[in-house]
Structure 1
């Protein structure tokens, strides 16, 4: 019963937070105005800047920020106990993560949809802008290189997810074209799209329930799944990055927005299934079919089998500060500021929609993280015989979570899929179908993060290339004297296709290396992102602290109380830096000098940016930044 109370209590807490703290932020701090000009209208180009209903932007924003972060992080951090993991998810998401996402979204909207790196240059100085953009490029480079491997790993573990993930593309294009051309109510297109998505899951699972036909179609699909799952990692990385190139250069309304929207429908309906299954399990227990092999045919009670607190799991880093780095997206993540300022701020058609999209999306992601903690802490108590035959309850937990080094990555995802599918099975849904649903959920999330990250990386590359453009003063002087204003060596990267191609090729180049300690072979290449991936956790959380610093500067320049951003900023600068120093020492002792070099560079960039901000802070209270230049008149 405690599992159910935790789930219901979390829902109530998030609803209260949204309607109190979120409302106060929107009304009293950011002063959202429904009549204010928004970037989607001012800068409209129907490619990146597209006025869009808040429900569709919510779907895009939520699925882009979620990815696998709120699944892997909590599923791993629960090793320190479900209590600290739960508390950090709840209060971190309300007071830090949602403030971070909401704040960067609003600040970007008030600056014509500029990314957080560009806004940092306006609010602080050009050096901070350059440093921020370099940090963003590095983080997104890692995301693009690694997420192909993540999705391929999900395909290998859950082959039934392959077909549905790719069949979502034509469904998304259909709903995108329909809504963009005809507009109107989203209800029926949403119902049709969701129905088609669940049909693709059923198809990918081998058509369970159709065995009476002879099972020919199901057997053929399962054979196809096995063949596709056996493809080398590098092939999947190449396919996925090619898709990302197309998704990044297309107008957002064709693929990016609608795919994220229908994925959000899938997620919300899947969360409803998990909560419904949890409700049934709390009162009636798990059905016998979910029990471990060899168990008696009786219903098994729902109970939390994970420890409430475990300060020293085997081979795990210290809970402080690593709890706040490991959980990441479930409580706060620097990647979110890229989505808020990179894509969502260019699509909202009203300022007042920002609370729903920015603050609301983070709270829903926090609730997802809560369900992950419950699915792993209670749901895997039964039904993982393939990996741990004969074990159930606490014994199964002790085997699955015996060693930190054995749970990272794919095993953490597997724990969530197994635990959540056990909840879904209590509703009478076939075990194969339930597992396929959860596998598709994870793979779809990773896919939406990958294509959104590609578009975001394109923006960052274009902004970096713009730094090499001659200034307006230099251009005017050159024009007056008849001389050349200079040549931009990165001029090709200022265009959409050039920047996107550079993003995809550099990510694929990193991915083509074998993973750490692996020999060069066709089977090992494609995992090169793993070489630098240990840096991402702390770097990602440092970005959150730096983004909060930008929000704090925007507030203080307007004489608005900045503590709501500056206090979380201090916390999110200290904790990741502390964790990174510990990691650097470990890598130095272990001979991982490449990680040491990149880690020291990251720390240096952070310290430099903080010093620049610290020196400027007392001078800018109540002093507005330079106004934005007037927009050129639109041509017919």
Structure 2
């Protein structure tokens, strides 16, 4: 099968989804109102609540939700063949992710920009809120701790990426000032910013920076990078959003979209063959079944609960006009779906032969970022003639910047969680940004170094539960949105069907994992899996009861 045909088919379907289906959802289901006063205007403070140009906000949202997950998940899931991964990414983006992301923004904006966890208390009940907040905290803990490890390992493995990754921060600081003070127009700033970022990528191979294997006695280079990343993320999480978060995400979003065009352009020029099978029956021993694991292995890129946290945590506080939620939320999901599609293409067509592909995927869990970088560099080199080391640097920086922007937003969201707990439990000190940030960073470092030792990779211990916990969060977010729609007497099937499918697949995957952890003797993950499973059941029951109450109330009012 030609990779170019697969690419155009996927992009065409997603384009139709945005221009037709998202318009229907925005106008007929969520009924986005241009005259509604958004929290960004009502509570404007210049720090967290800042009315923002929809293109800049799209950049923040897209790069925050994407991370490395839409690269890693699809590049692993093609072990079952590229066909199932392609179908779930395309259909999931159109009917699941776009609806979920737009709905989470809308629900939060209509409720004073509350996070989906706090919002659950108003829509469903206090018990559901308490359980939901724990699930949210676990997801954020996993994301922040693990993405720090991912970025650190990328910089240790590819020292040519260090200058572009850290240089992007200084470019963003300058751009933030230029945009905020209106020194230059947004198009001019955008062009100059992208040129600056690509100049850093071009310079990266000539200025590699290798962290020593052991910086201090007992402190590895990997651990040093992790510590530096958390120091940076802590500072970024308390700065006003316009200073660093918005411009960094916006300019990275543009740079990463250019990177996608380079990848897609190389596919068109080379027109490689999908050397991997469409449906792979010759999977390595020990590979779990496609159903339900496909639907939790590919989360970001199809649908992800983390998106709901960003949508209701930072994006809703910056939305200038309510109709902007369609462009920011749904088109943001399209961008992530496009990245996941590119990951599928390069992880299956970026090899010279089927034997080369099988050598990469000799065991489940192989592939991921490595397959993305190697396969993408192969396609760009042979399709566009770019030196392979430059192409590899470009793709490594893409992965690292996605992970970095997600970590920036993730730590800010974790700070919000502690502040909301301070609000709920009347702890005034916890409501302040600095103590909440220190608690967020401290919990991540406790997991990273407490569970992982001096290397700081403790987040990887609980990472096997990320897929199921994250998808559970997406299903529960759709439940909250559905309850709101019923209360407002609007059609609920467009959210109810995705959430039912997602909850069934996620709970089934949790049960599959219970057996796996038990057989492996991994009683820590077994216990954590049971906690997550119980939380899922309890919140689902609470939401079902709330849904029944609202439907009964609506029925009685109509009589």
TM-score by length of 1: 0.84
User: Residue 137 of structure 1 contacts residue 461 of structure 1 at CA under 8 Å; is this kept in 2?
Assistant: no
Q: Structure 1 residue 434 and structure 2 residue 364: aligned?
A: no
Q: State the secondary structure of the residue aligned to 1:310.
A: coil
User: Residue 165 of structure 2 contacts residue 401 of structure 2 at CA under 8 Å; is this kept in 1?
Assistant: yes
Deviation at 1:623, TM superposition (A): 5.2
Matches within 5 A, 1:189-588: 189-206=189-206, 221-222=207-208, 224-225=209-210, 227=212, 232-282=221-271, 302-311=272-281, 313-314=283-284, 315-379=286-350, 381-382=351-352, 393-405=353-365, 407=366, 411-425=367-381, 426-469=383-426, 488=427, 491-513=428-450, 515=452, 522=454, 525-588=455-518
Matches within 5 A, 1:144-163: 144-163=144-163
Number of the residue aligned with 2:67: 67
Number of the residue aligned with 1:475: none
- The 3 A distance-change label for structure 1 pair 16 and 232 is same
Q: State the secondary structure of the residue aligned to 1:313.
A: coil
Number of the residue aligned with 2:182: 182
Partners in 2 of 1:169 and 1:229 — Cα distance? 26
Deviation at 1:428, TM superposition (A): 2.3
User: Residue 558 of structure 1 contacts residue 622 of structure 1 at CA under 8 Å; is this kept in 2?
Assistant: no
Q: Structure 1 residue 601 and structure 2 residue 531: aligned?
A: yes
* 1:32-89 per-position Cα deviation (integer Å, ceiling 9, x unaligned): 1212111100010010000000000000000011001110000000000000110011
Q: State the secondary structure of the residue aligned to 1:620.
A: helix
Deviation at 1:531, TM superposition (A): 1.5
Partners in 1 of 2:359 and 2:552 — Cα distance? 58
- The 3 A distance-change label for structure 1 pair 241 and 137 is same
Larger deviation, residues 9-18 vs 66-75 = 9-18
- The 3 A distance-change label for structure 1 pair 229 and 378 is farther
Number of the residue aligned with 2:557: none
User: Residue 149 of structure 2 contacts residue 226 of structure 2 at CA under 8 Å; is this kept in 1?
Assistant: yes
User: Residue 557 of structure 1 contacts residue 622 of structure 1 at CA under 8 Å; is this kept in 2?
Assistant: no
User: Residue 483 of structure 2 contacts residue 546 of structure 2 at CA under 8 Å; is this kept in 1?
Assistant: no
Partners in 2 of 1:332 and 1:445 — Cα distance? 17
TM-score by length of 2: 0.95
Structure 2: where are the runs of 5+ without partners? Answer: 555-559
Larger deviation, residues 231-240 vs 252-261 = 231-240
- The 3 A distance-change label for structure 1 pair 621 and 415 is same
* 1:134-170 per-position Cα deviation (integer Å, ceiling 9, x unaligned): 1111111121111111111111222211111111111
Q: State the secondary structure of the residue aligned to 1:372.
A: helix
Larger deviation, residues 183-192 vs 439-448 = 183-192
- The 3 A distance-change label for structure 1 pair 417 and 130 is same
Deviation at 1:616, TM superposition (A): 2.4
Number of the residue aligned with 1:39: 39
User: Residue 212 of structure 2 contacts residue 221 of structure 2 at CA under 8 Å; is this kept in 1?
Assistant: no
Give the greater-gyration-radius structure (CA): 1
Partners in 2 of 1:27 and 1:543 — Cα distance? 26
Deviation at 1:105, TM superposition (A): 0.8
User: Residue 556 of structure 1 contacts residue 622 of structure 1 at CA under 8 Å; is this kept in 2?
Assistant: no
Structure 1: where are the runs of 5+ without partners? Answer: 207-220, 283-301, 383-392, 470-487, 625-636
Number of the residue aligned with 1:4: 4
Q: Structure 1 residue 590 and structure 2 residue 520: aligned?
A: yes
Number of the residue aligned with 1:481: none
* 1:76-103 per-position Cα deviation (integer Å, ceiling 9, x unaligned): 0000000011001110111011111111
Q: State the secondary structure of the residue aligned to 1:330.
A: coil
Structure (1 or 2) with the greater helix fraction:
2
Deviation at 1:183, TM superposition (A): 6.5
Deviation at 1:330, TM superposition (A): 1.1
Deviation at 1:608, TM superposition (A): 0.8
Number of the residue aligned with 2:117: 117
Deviation at 1:509, TM superposition (A): 1.1
* 1:311-367 per-position Cα deviation (integer Å, ceiling 9, x unaligned): 462121110100000011010000000000000111110111110011111112111
Q: State the secondary structure of the residue aligned to 1:512.
A: helix
- The 3 A distance-change label for structure 1 pair 228 and 162 is farther
Number of the residue aligned with 1:298: none
Partners in 2 of 1:72 and 1:186 — Cα distance? 32
Q: State the secondary structure of the residue aligned to 2:32.
A: coil
Number of the residue aligned with 1:53: 53
User: Residue 458 of structure 1 contacts residue 496 of structure 1 at CA under 8 Å; is this kept in 2?
Assistant: yes
Partners in 2 of 1:40 and 1:575 — Cα distance? 36
Q: State the secondary structure of the residue aligned to 1:40.
A: helix
The total of aligned residue pairs comes to 548
Deviation at 1:195, TM superposition (A): 0.8
Aligned CA RMSD, in angstroms, stands at 1.6
Number of the residue aligned with 1:299: none
Partners in 2 of 1:234 and 1:276 — Cα distance? 37
Partners in 2 of 1:126 and 1:53 — Cα distance? 35
Q: State the secondary structure of the residue aligned to 1:404.
A: coil
